[in-house]
Amino acid sequence: MAEKTANNSPGEQNQALFAQLVVMLYGATMQQMGKVVNPLTNKAERNLELAKLSIDMLSMVEEKTKGNLSDEEARFLSDSLFQLRMNYVDEVKKEAEEGKEAPKEEEKKEEKKEEEKEPEK
């Protein structure tokens, strides 16, 4: 995939490798957010800490390469980061909502248990 062909200049090869790096980290981050099924487990698994780390790594790449990317590369990286950040916010909200619902369900179960224990009048 990364083999250099006679038709590709080093600049073209680096441009392709850069795009491949962004796509690779993008895909991994989507998988870490549970948006994409893990091919090893065939399950959607959410690890938001790892997803945040991946987003931070891509953000660091953006910062460290500022002024050294073509307009197309910079736009591709910026758009990818925007999409990842919006999806991350969405997943954080989902997790917070799931956290709020879980205690309510536990409270309902406890109330039912208490009602069953109380003798009828």
Does residue 76 lie within any of the structural domains?
A: yes
The confidence score (pLDDT) of residue 82 equals 98
Number of domains comprising the chain: 1
Q: What is the pLDDT along the chain (121 residues), one digit of tens a residue?
A: 445 555 788 889 999 999 999 999 999 999 999 999 988 899 999 999 999 999 999 999 999 999 999 999 999 999 999 999 999 999 999 999 888 776 666 666 666 666 666 655 4
SS3 7: coil
Domain at 28, CATH number: 1.20.58
3-state secondary structure (DSSP) of residue 36 = coil
Q: Is residue 3 part of a domain?
A: no
Nearest to 46 by CA among 33, 36, 59, 55: 33
CA-to-CA distance for 74 and 39, rounded, in angstroms? 30
Does any domain span residue 119?
no
Residue 49 lies in a domain: yes
CA–CA separation, 105 and 95 (whole Å): 15
Specify if 99 maps to a domain: no
State how far the alpha carbon of 11 is from the alpha carbons of 16, 17, 92, in Å: 9, 10, 39
What is the pLDDT, as a whole number, of residue 114? 67
Residue 98 confidence (pLDDT)? 87
Confidence at residue 101, expressed as pLDDT on a 0 to 100 scale? 74
Structural domain containing residue 49: 10-93
